[in-house]
């Protein structure tokens, strides 16, 4: 199964055994929208609501940190998902949050995993049907889900990123828009400084997509990394505001074969709030 699937591909396979479709919409800065209510108003038939906003370490004060193994396993058990299921993710978020769900699920060993190219907007545009209400899964016992470990090698901590400022053996790439990266625009979170991590480069996640909302591919996607100044010889660490859109860069790097990558999960919401970390502007 490819990392991106089309509407036609998914429409033909909705009823396949072991197929799980998940709505991974997350709307962190859209106070007038409710992801759960929108899911109930119309979703891909049979899709389950992942509730990505709460699929996080609820014991950690930092926003949307990756869940623990126990937290993840309990959510998958409640959704009736096993490690060997074939999982298709989609969203209806301006932040393309299915990429964050893809990154989280990869942490716990889900391998048969893909994103619906263009999300639910492409599904609607193709005239495919939507289903109202809740698609109620059949829960499975947590011990039968098959999730036994979390791959922390794909996560970078504050201490590890501090070390990269002095010894940049891995290249930091920031997914935020240029005004926030440069410091020209204030951070939306109270108490968080403006600017970026010294030595990081900027590749706004919005550039990853075609005008119709589908992912760029092949040479067009590889050219984005080259034009941004990404060094092909160095491993990559992606960052953003709170680890959400950085996952879009992580997924894009995977699409072009750059799997020597990790994600700084605390991102700028942690770095910018810490008075002891260096900040760069311009």
Residues belonging to the active site:
240
CA 90/CA 101 separation, integer angstroms: 9
Residue owning tokens 């005239």:
127
| CB-based contact 230:236 (threshold 8 Å) | yes
| CB-based contact 183:194 (threshold 8 Å) | yes
| CB-based contact 213:221 (threshold 8 Å) | no
Torsion of CA 277, 170, 282, 97, to 10 degrees: -90
CA 236/CA 261 separation, integer angstroms: 5
| CB-based contact 91:120 (threshold 8 Å) | yes
């Amino acid at each position: 199964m490819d990392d991106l699937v089309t509407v036609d591909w998914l429409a033909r396979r909705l009823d396949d055994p072991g197929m799980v479709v998940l709505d991974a919409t997350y709307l962190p800065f859209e106070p007038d929208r409710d992801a759960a209510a929108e899911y109930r108003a119309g979703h891909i038939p049979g899709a389950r609501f992942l509730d990505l906003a709460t699929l996080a370490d609820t014991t950690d004060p930092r926003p949307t940190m990756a869940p623990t193994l126990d937290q993840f396993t309990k959510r998958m058990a409640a959704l009736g998902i096993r490690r060997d299921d074939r999982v298709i993710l989609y969203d209806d978020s301006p932040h393309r949050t299915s990429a964050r769900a893809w990154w989280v699920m990869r942490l716990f060993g889900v391998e048969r995993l893909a994103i619906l190219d263009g999300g639910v907007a492409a599904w609607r545009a193709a005239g495919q049907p939507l289903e109202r209400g809740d698609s109620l899964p059949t829960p499975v016992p947590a011990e039968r889900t098959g999730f036994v470990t979390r791959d922390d090698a794909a996560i970078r901590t504050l201490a590890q990123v501090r070390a990269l400022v002095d010894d940049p053996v891995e290249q930091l790439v920031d997914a935020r828009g240029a005004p926030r990266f440069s410091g020209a625009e204030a951070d939306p979170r109270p108490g968080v400084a403006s600017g970026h991590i010294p030595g990081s480069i900027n590749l706004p996640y919005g550039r990853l997509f075609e005008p119709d909302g589908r992912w760029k591919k092949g040479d067009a996607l590889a050219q984005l990394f080259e034009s941004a100044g990404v060094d092909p010889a160095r491993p990559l660490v992606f960052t953003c505001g709170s680890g959400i859109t950085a996952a879009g860069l992580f997924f894009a790097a995977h699409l072009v074969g750059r799997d020597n990558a990790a994600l700084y999960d605390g991102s700028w919401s942690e770095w910018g709030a810490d008075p002891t970390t260096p900040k760069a502007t311009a």
